[in-house]
Amino acid sequence: MKKLDESLLTNLPPFRKLDRSQIRQILDAATPVRINAGDAFFDQGDTAEKFFLLLDGHIRVVKMTPDGEQVIALHIASGQLFGIAAGLGKATYPATSVAADECLALYWPNVMWDRFVATYDGFATETYKVVGERLDEMNKRIVEMATQQVEQRVACVLLRLINQAGRKVPDGIEIDFPITRQNISDMTGTTLHTVSRLLSAWEKSGIVASKRSKVTVTEPHQLVLLSGATG
Amino acid sequence: MKKLDESLLTNLPPFRKLDRSQIRQILDAATPVRINAGDAFFDQGDTAEKFFLLLDGHIRVVKMTPDGEQVIALHIASGQLFGIAAGLGKATYPATSVAADECLALYWPNVMWDRFVATYDGFATETYKVVGERLDEMNKRIVEMATQQVEQRVACVLLRLINQAGRKVPDGIEIDFPITRQNISDMTGTTLHTVSRLLSAWEKSGIVASKRSKVTVTEPHQLVLLSGATG
DNA sequence: CGCATGTTTGAAATAGGTCAAGTGGCGTGG
DNA sequence: CCACGCCACTTGACCTATTTCAAACATGCG
């Protein structure tokens, strides 16, 4: 196995305060994994034995209900830690991590978690900051689901996605990974039919453009208006 | 100010591993506060300068939307830390903490947070375990809101409440703090009318009994059935 | 080229929200 | 101690956003 390049980690929040030799140590302890779109790094309920860092690609964090329905709790973009059950005192992963596109990640065994926290200055702080942000995001979703109509929720989700995984293209901002109407409905607690109708309508008004599994927002501002300005 | 009794903290998770002298130190650094039902320890958006431990009473964690609607994110029972923005790298409190009944709490200035984490063994671990549990709970709520109908959501909330703050009474399990239909609707993303209709119906079937601002579940098992078994 | 997967769209059905009106307990102040 | 007013609660009637059902229609991969 060839050595991983140190530049992979240098600029990521959890490792920002570390020097080259520390990063070297961390990398030498890491195992790389690559998975295809649609596959999972781990499943909900699996014993949590490792924690991960996503280097490339996008992950959908999916929860399954007992009766088979699924809900997408959030997305993870490259550069972020995930599967950190270890850090939160959990024995099993609370959700499944499905690759939205081809993904490359590193992982470490859980025993390293405490070591990282103890040894590397800033690792704990930066990490729990990320946890705080996820808490916030989930909070916002709860509020949205509780107070807003479907149209606004879908608008919010698209805005959030272009913020987290948007790529500038000539005619607007494109969501940088494959995403279906069904996916969007799993994020908003609605049906693919309703999402389809909404996107069709928005496409007619020139707010979005979409192909199969691909969405581009052409008029973000219009979408903000539709979203009820909650973000 | 008279000295606080050490037994207050001895059996709470964050302090479980500490000895008497350590607990003494912690208590000596704490300030007690008492607030009335309906008042708030802090408001959403306030600069986060302290973190709290609830000794007695029940708190509603409330988020306000820009347009004045409110959503109850979760409840906090006595013995739990709250307002721990500090530990998650946040500069302001993300929600308002309203007392559901008369509340007694201790607080410490934020600077103590890092000290606690560094000095007291087990404090960080136990605390982040609590964060993990809240994440879980929020997750569950998101899934519920996304997949279940109002009736099931309300059933779930009642079950959760009797778990977290239930008190055995002759005719069932009572929620140990005042709670209105409006409160329940703020927790489930519905209207007080719908909640009222549901409770009326359940009261007719003998599943619950309720007075003004008081709910008792008489047939928890029936409620589990109605909840769709997600919990 | 054909199948699987994703998408569109109409029509019918409904859960639950909105509107409106009224009841009843309870604490306060006279 | 009583009456007043507030606040929580209830209930009916109506209305509509969204889901459900059903049926085609694209698109792209093997």
* Tens digits of residue pLDDT in B170-197: 999 999 999 999 999 999 999 999 999 9
| B2 to chain A, closest Cα gap in Å | 35
Instruction: Tell me if A87 sits within 8 A of A51, measured CB to CB.
Output: yes
Axis crossing angle, helix A150-165 with helix A181-188, rounded to the nearest 10: 110
- In this prediction, residue B1 has a pLDDT band, given cuts at 50, 70 and 90, of low
Instruction: Tell me if A86 sits within 8 A of B132, measured CB to CB.
Output: no
Residue-averaged pLDDT of chain B: 94
Closest CA to B83 of B65, B56, B115, B107: B107
B128 in the same domain as B60: yes
A116 in the same domain as A13: yes
A174 in the same domain as A95: no
| Interface touch B131/A131, C-beta < 8 Å | yes
Instruction: Tell me if A189 sits within 8 A of A141, measured CB to CB.
Output: no
What is the DSSP annotation of A93-140?
-SSEEEESS-EEEEEEETHHHHHHHHHSTTHHHHHHHHHHHHHHHHHH
Within chain B, where are the H helices?
7-10, 20-28, 111-119, 123-147, 150-165, 181-188, 192-204, 220-227
> Which positions in strand D are less than 7 Å from the protein's CB atoms?
8-13, 17-22, 27-28
- Residue A43 CB: number of other CB atoms within 10 A? 14
| Interface touch A228/B142, C-beta < 8 Å | no
Q: Å from B55 (CA) to D1 (C1')?
A: 39
A112, A136, A160 - which closes a domain: A136
B112 in the same domain as B34: yes
Q: Å from A224 (CA) to D18 (C1')?
A: 22
Residue A173 belongs to some domain of the structure? yes
> What SS3 string covers B158-178?
HHHHHHHHEEEECCEEEECCC
A163 in the same domain as A114: no
B176 in the same domain as B125: no
Set of chain A residues whose Cβ sits within 8 Å of the Cβ of B134: 135
What is the DSSP annotation of A145-193?
HHH--HHHHHHHHHHHHHHHHEEEETTEEEESS---HHHHHHHHTS-HH
Closest CA to A145 of A110, A186, A106, A90: A186
Own/partner contacts of B202-208, CB < 8 Å, gap of 24 or more, are B208/B158, B208/B172
* Tens digits of residue pLDDT in A164-177: 999 999 999 999 99
Residue A230 has pLDDT above 60, yes or no: no
A109, A136, A163 - which closes a domain: A136
B134, B167, B198 - which closes a domain: B134
- pLDDT at residue B122 in the model: 86
Residues 182-201 of B, Cβ under 7 A from nucleic strand D: 182, 192-193, 196-197, 199-200
| Interface touch A189/B63, C-beta < 8 Å | no
Closest CA to B61 of A139, A199, A57: A139
Own/partner contacts of A23-27, CB < 8 Å, gap of 24 or more, are A26/A108, A26/A116, A26/A120, A27/A3, A27/A106
* Tens digits of residue pLDDT in A138-162: 999 999 999 999 999 999 999 999 9
The percent of residues in chain A predicted with pLDDT above 70, rounded, is: 98
Q: Hey, what are B74's tokens?
A: 């979760």
- Cβ contact B191 with chain C strand, < 7 A: yes
* Tens digits of residue pLDDT in B95-135: 999 999 999 999 999 999 999 998 998 899 889 999 999 99
Q: Under DSSP, is residue A50 helix (H, G, I), strand (E, B) or coil?
A: strand
Residue B141 belongs to some domain of the structure? no
B195 in the same domain as B161: yes
Residue A193 belongs to some domain of the structure? yes
* A4 secondary structure, DSSP code: P
Instruction: Report the protein residue whose CA lies nearest the C1' of nucleotide C7.
Output: A196
B170 in the same domain as B116: no
Residue A211 belongs to some domain of the structure? yes
A190 in the same domain as A122: no
Residue A37 belongs to some domain of the structure? yes
Residue B115 belongs to some domain of the structure? yes
Collect all residues from A whose CB is shorter than 8 A from any CB in B: 63, 65-67, 69, 71, 73, 85, 87-90, 94-95, 117, 124-126, 128-129, 131-132, 134-136, 138-139, 141-143, 145-147, 186, 188-189, 228-230
Domain with residue A211: its CATH number is 1.10.10.10
Domain with residue A83: its CATH number is 2.60.120.10
Averaged pLDDT, B81-106: 96
Provide the domain count of chain B: 2
A201 in the same domain as A105: no
Averaged pLDDT, A81-98: 96
* Tens digits of residue pLDDT in A114-135: 999 989 988 998 899 999 999 9
| Contacts with A204 (C-beta within 8 Å, 6 or more apart), sequence order | none
Q: Hey, what are B167's tokens?
A: 């008190």
Residue A195 belongs to some domain of the structure? yes
What domain range includes position B77?
7-134
B119 in the same domain as B155: no
A165 in the same domain as A106: no
- pLDDT at residue A1 in the model: 58
Residue A142 belongs to some domain of the structure? no
